[in-house]
Amino acid sequence: MSEPFRSPFDRHSTAAQVIDGVDLSGRRAVVTGAGSGIGVETARALAAAGAEVTLAVRRPEAGEQVAAGLRKVTGNDAVRVAHVDIADLDSVTAFTSAWRGPLHILVNNAGIMMLPGLERGSRGHEQQFATNYLGHFALTLGLHDALAEAGGARVVTVSSSGHLFSPVVFDDLDYRFRPYDALGAYGQSKTAGVLLAVEADRRWAGEGIRANALHPGAIATNLQRHTGGLKTPEPYRKTVEQGAATSVFLAASPLVQDVGGRYFEDVDESPRVAGRPTELGVPGVAPYALDPSNAERLWELAHAILR
């Protein structure tokens, strides 16, 4: 097992601080879910460092307003908008098929959380799994050649401490036998996101593509619209600028250019834990989320779904 990575930053660090001094001129980035929340701040930080940034959003009209604001605040005119509904595999395929040229940074940021009732999305799969994992798997796989062409690329997947509430239940991914549980379904989808990073890094590191996953922290965004808002006590919350810091760090910092297949939070690698922490603010990643056999099994399963 590799030695844990340690960064000079902490939970209070902001996206601007972790990318300070980094020049991304000539680099191209795609950020999903960049129409609101930490997606906007992630895109802003990358654009401020000189990257060409594509906001991959479900509602292009709203995305154009965000892009205009980012161009103004960063002075970077290379902020573009593309239609990508990550819950719709046809939309994802249309985007990846149209992409031309290298891609240096892919931030799988979009997501949904704790749908109150069982819904089915792409190919009949439970909606949170279909959106948070399958859509991003299809996007990442479809952009593989562009990432390889970059000659040094990063794939960053936004997971959550919610992964600690469920492993991927391979025998019943879609709640066809179990009673539906909103938190369990969310947790499964976020564990799947970590496993995406583990397997992508194993398969593609030799091509210069490194992949990691992260928990951004507790930030009040539209993500909590089904939960009645953010319930985390104030001392444990983060600002949007702090919430985007780990994503931006993994996407752009030279400190992690040779690091992959890991899970981060508070701009640092998380320790593995034997059980879900009972205290707020205690970091940790479940061993099942980093298990290479789970990662390979899920990759093959998702690949079969997309055929």
- Residues known to be catalytic: 186
* CA-wise closest residue to 100 among 32, 45, 146, 139: 146
Bridge partners of 56?
32, 82
> Helix or strand or coil: residue 65?
helix
Q: Where are the alpha helices (DSSP H) in 168-214?
A: 182-204
Q: Which residue has the tokens 């509602």?
A: 59
User: Within the chain, what is the greatest distance between any pair of CA atoms?
Assistant: 53
Continuous segment of H or E residues that includes residue 302: helix 292-306
Which residues lie below 8 Å from residue 16, measured CB to CB, with a gap of 6+? Answer: 45, 48, 241
> Helix or strand or coil: residue 154?
strand
